[in-house]
Amino acid sequence: MRFQQFEKKKNKNWTALQANHLTLKKPLVLVFGNRYALENTNVYEEVKELFPDGEIIFGSTAGEIIGAQVLDDSLTLTAIEFEKSTYTVFRENSFDNNKDAIQLGKALIRKVPKEGLKHIFIISEGSFINGSALIEGLETMTSNVAITGGLCGDDARFEKTISGYNENPKEGEVILIAFYGASLEISYAQYGGWTPFGPERIITKSDQNILYELDNQPALDLYKKYLGDKAAELPKSALLYPLSVKTKNKKESIVRTILTIDEESNAMILAGDVPEGSIVQLMMANIDHIVDGALHAAEIGMKNRIHKPELALLISCIGRKLVLDQRVEEEIEEVIEAIGSQATVSGFYSYGELAPFAGNQSCELHNQTMTLTLFSE
């Protein structure tokens, strides 16, 4: 693999960070950035001028990761030339699929050539999509191929997210990158580090990702009682107190973040499904545990690798960024220490992370985790 990386800070020009003398052939160009910066109508043409034959993918973020840096209000660009392997890119829009995430996932995966398929990476709109349903649709035809990726962000505004493929980014886009090649080694991992507390409760009424009742009581009322004064800051304050959800058919608990609240129906809309009968418990943050969680994710990702990774795509959660605050770069530094400084690092802070649990291939939607996908040829 060969790489070029650029960054563009607010009101500045694109600045090369490494290897700006290279000419890359048909690079995969990943542009992550602040939603306001991506709404600039010139952004696609600017990137196209840098990489005329590149396959260009955009995603809005809640913070940009490049190298060991975590940036805000910027654009980051990582261009990747695969020398021994190949990739293809496909897109669908949620509005074209009536916001039905399962149908969108099925429509996307039908487009993907299956012969030699090694891995799937997703960059999805993140403001209204049900990530669990998207995975369900994608996995209808990919039972033996792992899926990783993330849902786009919009800082802590939760207004809208935008993404795009070979055009200016817009709302509703879900982009799939399919990787092929016998020489391609890809590993992945996720881990959180949050601590459960308080009583366990049972979900007694829900509809996919909408949570109505816990122990036959209005879920939103109960949640507000726990938050106290912080309830006035919902939904932002919910990022600091996610839910641990243990379902009957899953060995591992899933962490779920509240995307928004519905005062009229006294309900909470979460990033993924919360099935009735599941056991729920509140979670809180310990900064050292969260940083250690990022290190643990990296150690899992490195465990059975044959070669050192050349590329690391990191998707971490906005909730982690808010908790870590001035220490946010520590979790990136821990990952780099574990995977090695030879890897080119790119990624973003998200509204949801996609990855299997350790030892599994079936993908899950996570919140509040550090998720990494490691590549080498």
Cβ-Cβ contacts under 8 Å for 140 (sequence gap 6 or more)? 105, 106, 109
Kind and range of the H or E run holding 136: helix 131-138
42 and 84 assigned to the same domain: yes
What is the DSSP code (8-state) at residue 239?
G
76 and 174 assigned to the same domain: yes
Q: CA quadruple 345, 347, 352, 353: dihedral positive or negative?
A: negative
Cβ-Cβ contacts under 8 Å for 162 (sequence gap 6 or more)? 35, 38, 39, 58, 60, 125, 152, 169, 170, 171, 173
Identify any residues that bridge with 156 across adjacent strands, giving them in sequence order: 154
242 and 305 assigned to the same domain: no
pLDDT digits (tens, 9 = 90+) for 321-331: 999 999 999 99
Pairing verdict, β 370-376 and 185-191: antiparallel
Last residue of a domain, one of 229, 255, 283: 283
92 and 10 assigned to the same domain: yes
pLDDT digits (tens, 9 = 90+) for 97-106: 989 999 999 9
What is the number of structural domains in the chain?
A: 2
- Whole-number pLDDT of residue 122: 98
- Whole-number pLDDT of residue 20: 63
26 and 139 assigned to the same domain: yes
- Whole-number pLDDT of residue 318: 93
271 and 293 assigned to the same domain: no
- Whole-number pLDDT of residue 227: 87
**Intervals of the chain under pLDDT 70:** 19-21
Q: Which domain holds residue 357?
A: 2-191+288-376
26 and 38 assigned to the same domain: yes
- Whole-number pLDDT of residue 19: 61
- Whole-number pLDDT of residue 259: 79
- Whole-number pLDDT of residue 239: 83
**Residue corresponding to tokens 């690798």:** 305
Amino acid at 373: T
Dihedral of CA atoms 141, 147, 150, 151 in degrees, nearest 10, equals 10
**pTM strictly above 0.85:** yes
221 and 155 assigned to the same domain: no
Q: What's the rounded Cα separation, in Å, for the pair 130 and 17? A: 36
Q: What's the rounded Cα separation, in Å, for the pair 262 and 212? A: 10
- Whole-number pLDDT of residue 102: 96
228: how many CB neighbours lie within 10 A of its CB?
9
Cβ-Cβ contacts under 8 Å for 324 (sequence gap 6 or more)? 287, 290, 291, 330, 331
Amino acid at 271: A
Last residue of a domain, one of 283, 313, 344: 283
113 and 223 assigned to the same domain: no
Kind and range of the H or E run holding 363: strand 363-366
367 and 353 assigned to the same domain: yes
233: how many CB neighbours lie within 10 A of its CB?
13
155 and 26 assigned to the same domain: yes
Q: What would the two tokens of residue 206 be?
A: 């829900």
- Whole-number pLDDT of residue 252: 85
109 and 46 assigned to the same domain: yes
Classified as helix, coil or strand, 88 is strand
Last residue of a domain, one of 230, 260, 283: 283
